[in-house]
Structure 1
Amino acid sequence: MISRIGERLAQAQDHHADAAGHSVISLGHVWVDIMMDVDGFPKTGGFAVSDHTNATVGGSYRVMQAAARMGVHAAHAGIIGTGPWATIVRKALDDNGIAHIGQDRLDTDSGFRLVLSDEEHRKTYIATYGAEAQGDGTTFDCVEPQPGDVVHISGNTLMDHTAAGVDEFMHRAGSDPATRGYAIVLNPTNTLSLVNDHLLEDLVLARPIWSCNRQEANTLADRLGILRDDDMLMTVGGGFDRSMAELCQALGETLRAPLVVRAGSRGAWVRTPGGEVAHVEGHPVKATHTRSAGAPHTGTLCAMLARGWSLTDAVRIANAAASLAIRDSVNGVPVCPSYEDTIALADGDADADESIPERK
């Protein structure tokens, strides 16, 4: 028996002759994370021993990996250097079928970060920037999205010289999403508070699809001067769902752009310009990971948009992918599931919800 999600997928593929032929193109940075578990952080001049160390590729790589696992062509438009860290990055991209369409630097290596996690799972980051952060206004001239493509922009590209390239791309994209033919998904990350006012204004004027977690949404609201009730800052407990809906409504009205506000196992709140806020349920799962599932969620969202899904349906499927990514985490890093497993979980959610909207 074909599920309703399966039926809509077939309709999407009929409508777009080859929906999976569309691409997800990321303008984000990619680096290597060296994750170290420590009992506690030493004082200045002190000493600590890590009982577990693991090197993984981080940054926007996880977004592209998720898109590729959803059966969509993924491409990295950022800069990769030359050296041991860059070699790890290139191998990860190759192993996952992710194309590198960006620039190569021969004079410097890619960067890396030390991620120190203590026994209470508090994380401390120490970053060494490399080639990925040494761009300029021409960095993304190579990006020429085709109709139906999705361009992913992460907040990690908005704080260094590469931000000039993002700004130039946004100027090319224009301020009317209806005339682009492709979508832009902007995941601001927790660094949004450090983005300069001029660039933030250009990002808002371009009216991308914003995908934020609750903390990022509140930071963006603060930057935009949006007044909120104290109840909107509540933690999980009494009134959480209402506060999330009100945050999504207030922020969406100011941005005048599609908005997704994620809240882990509670799912996400979605608003499109002129529309009402919709809550898309998540899938509770035991939290055994030390990194968030924001990247698998964002990558799956981008892939589903490239496949022709409506924003709400894309979020529903992304919620399922994020839940499975946490369940299947490896060394504390959520791993995006296969397309088939994701659709199977989302199908069950759709069968239990008669109000699931039709594909647009």
Structure 2
Amino acid sequence: MLRPPCFISTGSVLVDLPLRVERVPAPGGAVTAVSSGPVVGGGYTVVSTVARQGLPTALAATLGTGPNSAQVRREMLSDGVELVVDELVGDIGTCTTLIEPSGRRTFITTEGIEAEPQVEDLERLELIEGDWVYCTGYDLAHASSAKPLSDWLLTLPQGVGLILDLGPAQAEIGDAILMPILARTTLLTGNMLEITEIIARLGSPDRLRGAAPQALVVRRTGVHGCELWLPTGEHLEVAGFACDVVDTTGAGDTHTGVLVTGLMDGLDVVSAARRANAAAAEAVSRLGPARAPRRNEIDALLAEG
């Protein structure tokens, strides 16, 4: 019997150390922070979001043998996420996040073996129609992962969706990597600034549409919700939900995970985006990454609003 469709993420996973500060210190300055301890973050947020909706979910990003990777495995066991690539000797890196009262975040990242994709393992994956594969701009910008990862992504079978979350790293991705990936992308997602920047890079919205002709383009607009640009050229706005912002870390990944879950469930794009908007609003009211609401919590939020 065929397995059900699965969400597979290639996004690098890190261990996050969120630090709440009144302000980011000036060079040479100092500030006192409040820490809630290390949490699994990076590319794991979108994985845990989909898993918490009850769908089959797999991690195809490299983990190691050290304590950071062990913490990730504990989260995976709790969430029911399968690791589908081999581990390497070493450990994944960390991301220290300075969180200001407004919710604005500043990142300091250390690098580990997460930047070394296991291409042979990826090539052995038996993908089926209805699967979705997720990748990030960070991995497409990194010198050691960009070429092998993009080469594999371009071999994805027809019927397998490709999600591209460019993030703030899109300016560092060379055209030789970016343009073929855009042409294969099924869902391109980013916040207001990120989508504006890729449009500016390509020259116009029409050129973005020409570069990514198959893609549903999602521009997340914070409390206002999101804008959808369908492959047909139709533009839609889906209203957001009012919320008290505590921490915006992982809100975009939560939005993406719930949106894709809705599409995998067979919802139309507007209904899927409305669920995603509700989930993201709930996520920013919680501290830390990988804090996505579960399916029943999203149902309750939608029932209220």
Q: TM-score, normalised by structure 2?
A: 0.89
**Alignment match of 1:339 (pick from 272, 295, 305):** 295
Partner residue of 1:85 out of 43, 68, 79: 68
* Cα separation, 1, equivalents of 2:36 and 2:56: 32
Deviation at 1:215, TM superposition (A): 0.9
Matched AA of 1:153: C
Q: 1:86 to 1:46 in 2, by over 3 A?
A: same
Q: Which residue of 2 aligns with 1:357?
A: none
Which one of the candidate residues 250, 255, 258 is aligned to 2:212? 255
| Whole-angstrom CA distance in 2 between matches of 1:265 and 1:116 | 21
Cα–Cα, structure 1 residues 154 and 285, in superposed 2: closer, same or farther, change >3 Å?
Answer: same
* Cα distance in 2 for residues equivalent to 1:326 and 1:37: 14
CA distance in 2 between counterparts of 1:44 and 1:348 reads 46
Equivalent position of 2:281 in the other structure: 323
CA distance in 1: counterparts of 2:130 and 2:165, whole angstroms: 19
CA deviation after TM superposition for structure 1 residue 40, in Å: 4.4
Query: 253, 262, 267: which one pairs with 1:309?
Result: 267
Name the CA shift for 1:316/1:102 in 2 (closer, same or farther; >3 Å): same
From 293, 310, 323, give the equivalent of 2:251: 293
Equivalent residues of 2:137, 2:168 under 8 A apart: yes
> Shift of residue 291 of structure 1?
2.1
**Unmatched runs of 5 consecutive residues or more in structure 2:** none
Distance 1:311 1:254, change over 3 A: same
Separation in structure 2 between the aligned mates of residue 282 and residue 47 of structure 1, nearest angstrom: 37
Hey, what does 1:241 align to over in structure 2?
none
Aligned to 1:267: 225
2:92 maps to: 110
Deviation at 1:346, TM superposition (A): 3.5
Distance, in Å, in 2 between the alignment partners of 1:317 and 1:44 is 41
The residue type paired with residue 238 of structure 2 is: V
Give the TM-score taking structure 1 as reference length: 0.76
1:205 is the counterpart of 2:183: yes
1:1-360 alignment to 2 at 5 Å?
21-42=4-25, 47-106=30-89, 108-118=90-100, 121-135=103-117, 138=120, 140-160=122-142, 161-173=144-156, 180-226=158-204, 251-252=208-209, 254-256=211-213, 257-327=215-285, 329=286, 331-333=287-289, 335-346=291-302
SS in 1 for 2:155: helix
Q: Distance in 1 between matches of 2:231 and 2:269?
A: 12
Distance 1:221 1:31, change over 3 A: same
- What is the CA distance between 1:61 and its match in structure 2? 0.8
Give the partner amino acid of 1:155: G
Paired with 1:213 and 1:135, the residues of 2 have a C-alpha distance of 26
How far apart in 1 are the matches of 2:194 and 2:133?
20
Q: Measured at CA, do residues 250 and 284 of structure 1 come closer, stay the same or move farther in structure 2, by a change above 3 Å?
A: farther
CA distance in 1, matches of 2:247, 2:109: 21
Aligned CA-pair RMSD: 2.5
Which whole-Å deviations, capped at 9, do the CAs of 1:23-77 have from their partners, x for residues lacking one? 1110101010111233444555555432334211111211011101111011000
Q: 1 CA distance for matches of 2:98 and 2:187? A: 32
Separation in structure 2 between the aligned mates of residue 345 and residue 120 of structure 1, nearest angstrom: 23
Q: Which amino acid aligns with 2:198?
A: L
Whichever residue aligns with residue 86 of structure 1, its letter is S
C-alpha distance in 2 between matches for 1:225 and 1:136: 35
Amino acid at match of 2:7: V
Bigger Cα Rg: 1
Aligned length: 303
1:163-217 residue CA offsets vs partner (Å, 9 max, x unmatched):
223212232127xxxxx12211111111111111111111122132111111110
The worse-fitting range, judged by mean Cα deviation, of 24-33 and 291-300 is 291-300
